Amino acid sequence: MTITEYTTQFHRLVRLASGIVPTDFSKKEKYLDGFNPKIKHDLMITIDDNTTYVEMVGKALRDEGAVECIQESRGTQVVGGVTAPPTYGNDRGGSESTND
């Protein structure tokens, strides 16, 4: 699941359970709890007590966009949260004929 997908799902759940996460602080805590340790750590070092939930979401989404840009420039792609090498069609090492 991407950060964008997680954020969308989290927003839906917050609307349904507004009594469980009523404050900005509790939203931030619950939002962070849903990330894997690496992403959570990366976010934690870029926020402070004055960072709002909306600002934190923005940082997470920008980080995801930056990672995608880096991967595109390297010619890799993310498949299910895992970096995979680029695909080059159905060619499995043989040569394709271009005779028409």
Query: How confident is the model over 42-56, as pLDDT tens digits?
Result: 899 988 889 999 999
**What is the reported pTM?**
0.62
Q: Does the pLDDT value for residue 100 go beyond 50? A: no
Q: Can you give the residue ranges of every domain in the chain?
A: 3-72
- The mean per-residue pLDDT over the stretch 40-69 comes to 86
Query: How confident is the model over 3-35, as pLDDT tens digits?
Result: 899 999 999 998 888 788 788 888 999 999 999
Per-residue tokens: 76: 């890799």
Tell me what pLDDT residue 77 has. Answer: 56
For tokens 């954020």, the residue is 7
Rounded (10°) angle between helices 24-33 and 37-44:
140
Q: Give the span between the Cα atoms of 51 and 48, in whole angstroms.
A: 5
